[in-house]
Amino acid sequence: MIFENKGQALIACRGGETLRIEAWGRDALRVRATRLPDFTGRTWALTEVPPESRPEIRIYEEDFWVGDGSIEKVPAASIQNGRLRAVVNFAGVISFYRDEELVLREYYRCYGGTLSEGSRCLKYVNREWKGIIGGSDFALTVKFDADDREKFFGMGQYQQQHLNLKGALLDLEQRNSQISVPFVISSLGYGFLWNNPAVGRACFGANLTEWTARSTKEMDYWITAADNPKEILRNYTDVTGRAPAFPEDRMGLWQCKLRYRTQEEVLEVARRYQKEGIHIDQIVIDFFHWPVQGDWKFDTTYWPDPKAMVDELHSMGIKVIVSVWPSVDRRSENFGPMMEQGLLIRTERGAAQTYDYQGDCVEIDVFNPKTREYVWNVCKKNYYDLGIDGFWLDNSEPDFGVYDFDQYRYYDLPALACSNLYPQWYSRVFYDPMKEKGPVVNLLRCAWAGSQKYGNVVWSGDVPSTFCSFYEQVQAGLNMGLAGIPWWTTDIGGFMTDDVNDPDFQQLLIRWYQFAVYSAVFRMHGDRGPYNIPPLDTRDYGGGYLKTGHANELWSYGEENYRIMKKYYRIREEMHDYIKELYEEASHTGAPLIRTMFFEFPEDEICWTLQDQYMFGSRYLAAPVFHKDEFEREVYLPAGKWRLTSTGEVYEGGQRVRVQAPLDYMPVFEKCM
């Protein structure tokens, strides 16, 4: 191993690999390696310029016990930035220390001696490069030792039951309802970003931790050390960016359903809300309001004067957001020009098709700057110039017909090498030109590391309307917040509903609605079956042919449910100033609005095990009800005094308590100051 001190960076070369470790932010290091002549220079998620650091770099020799029992001197080096130090031995294995305590070490089972407690015959190395035949990229695997004490959190959104990801195997792939944001917070006091948008996998096994990229030119990860998750997240968002200011006029109720088919339907709903004395901050116009996918305009048969509609909604103080999909149907007026100019995703084999829902479609290549310009110009003319306030960027993974990532190619890279970054660039088609006119709030179904910078409200996708799914969404939202994405929401009641009149569904809807009041974005949406509403048109295209769901307004589920919804609507309104403070905190520190218990109480070991309750900011402890016909539940209270909001009774912390949870009440405790 040959070491070199480059002032701000430690360079190490061995066996055709160049390793570069440099200071990058507060108590943090960026680690890159390549087998190519040079690094790509891509920053990926590390878009914020860190303050200049003066790391301490040492190159020295250390003892190494060889097989015959003798000792040899071998080269080693270290780089320290604040509280984090990386030590590289002669084989290129990196160990990371927080305040001189080992917190992470690359896995190595190739030689004996001090490098491995395992077999020297296994020939496992810490960084495994396998060249992709016929190309310059590699399939890369990076391994780290496991620690039985360790818990992992973050990583974005995965549809599963576990908040603690220790033992989890997670595909680094974007899919409908799955969001890969490869930043993890360890209970040992460090945060780790896999700074690579390649399709791959993360495994937090009992025997080792492993990260893979199926196609990449270099290894790139970032690590920071701190005392608690709050400080780790602050360090992470220092270098990846934070959410901008969230406008006050969108902190209340958003109204949506699948789907308002005409402009008159939209206006009737808005007028009814006004008559009921309930203010909605934003109304959402969902998909297939267009002639065909990729036209990116209203079908004038059913939306004859969208500007007049927008003007009337604005006069009521209601913002308007409209759905835009990245799919372009071959029948679209934009398909020919975009295909001719190379603005669509390319397929490696067979016909040009990436998506097949309700049409033969190819999706836009958002990595191409000309594509971004083309799509924005069309949407600006047909939506934004009419007064539309924001965009619902659905299918933003993108939602491929088949998730065969090796079949698709983008502007300058194969999908295998960068597809996880797609939703971020899709959001920037709109965010970049819109930000000049003020706050941008767009709704997306997917995100990647750093997406918080681009005005993205991320929702959890097309999830089932079940109590099991409800429980999974809370785990997903808490881990999204720990991955740096504070603007997160769900479809209240879940997306896929078979029967709106089913009492079990309506009970679920109320429980989900109560949770949504104590979350970042308060948004009604869902596909409400059964599908017995006839279409407006017999054609197989246009704004009138596709199905619609049943009504999804607050009054749509009977008087008793409406009473409960109005009660919680008022609670949301009363919390406006507090919610504003939480959004400001997210912009200043990166803290999420919904928080794991250990985020606020890291010194309490019990809080590291809780996943059925959470903190809404630092003041409210929320305990959703996750089971049908459950009308009481147990809640753990950390140290301090806590006031139950239903009765005003004050409880001493440090204990578990059982409280009543009738259908019209979700247990919430307010921390006594």
Contacts of 412 (CB under 8 A, 6+ apart): 367
Q: Give the DSSP per-residue string, 341-389.
A: TT-BPEESSSSS-SB-TTS-EEEB-TTSHHHHHHHHHHHHHHTGGGT--
In whole angstroms, what is the distance from residue 607 CA to residue 597 CA? 5
Give 3-state DSSP helix, strand, coil % of the chain, rounded to 5.
25, 30, 45
In whole angstroms, what is the distance from residue 21 CA to residue 6 CA? 10
> What is the three-class DSSP state of 478?
helix
Beta pairing class for 390-393 and 442-444: parallel
In whole angstroms, what is the distance from residue 384 CA to residue 440 CA? 12
State the catalytic residue, choosing from 462, 499, 585, 664: 462
- Angle in degrees, CA 587, 593, 597, rounded to 5: 130
**Phi, psi of 31, deg, nearest 5:** -120, 120
Query: Which amino acid is residue 148, in one-letter code?
Result: D
CA-based nearest residue to 246, from 485, 593, 525, 487: 487
Determine whether 238 is an active site residue. Answer: no
In whole angstroms, what is the distance from residue 458 CA to residue 485 CA? 8
Report yes or no: 214 and 416 within 8 Å, Cβ to Cβ: yes
Residue 556, both tokens: 């749509």
Determine whether 38 is an active site residue. Answer: no
In whole angstroms, what is the distance from residue 551 CA to residue 269 CA? 10
CA-based nearest residue to 200, from 188, 186, 182: 182
In whole angstroms, what is the distance from residue 361 CA to residue 293 CA? 8
Cα 310 from chain centroid? 30
In whole angstroms, what is the distance from residue 529 CA to residue 509 CA? 14
State the catalytic residue, choosing from 394, 472, 491, 600: 394
Give me the long-range contacts of 56-63 (CB less than 8 A, separation at least 24): 56/80, 57/5, 57/7, 57/10, 59/3, 59/4, 59/5, 62/89
State the catalytic residue, choosing from 218, 397, 399, 472: 397
- The residues annotated with a catalytic role in the active site are 394, 397, 462
